[in-house]
Amino acid sequence: MLNKLLGAAAIAAVAFTVVPASAASMAGCSGDNMKKAESAVEVMAEGEGKMTTQKEIAAAQSAMLDGKMGACATHLNHALHLEMMK
């Protein structure tokens, strides 16, 4: 009985540490961040990096419209990282 209680407490502790982290990454997918990424792409030099970044932003927009905020945040983060590497 005590082992089951300790196991449940351990699962709850992991859940409380993981949930806020995933919620924070999903908060990054917003209209303001999308505009920021689009503005950054506009000033990038033409080339493969710009095309890849535009594809990531398009995928982020599609995911946001579908309500998939986790996927949106992932694509938007990729786009912002690619923009920083220009």
CA pair distance 43, 21, nearest whole angstrom:
32
Q: Give the pLDDT of residue 20.
A: 42
Query: Which of 39, 44, 79, 42 lies closest to 59, judged by CA?
Result: 79
pLDDT digits over 32-82, tens only?
888 888 888 888 888 888 899 999 999 999 998 998 988 998 998 888 887
C-alpha 47/C-alpha 83 separation (Å) is: 12
How do the domains of the chain map onto residue ranges? 2-84
Two tokens, residue 23: 């919620």
pLDDT for res 16: 45
Q: How many helices (H) and strands (E) does the chain have?
A: 4, 0
Residues in the chain: 86
| pLDDT tens profile 7-39 | 444 454 444 444 444 444 444 788 888 888 888
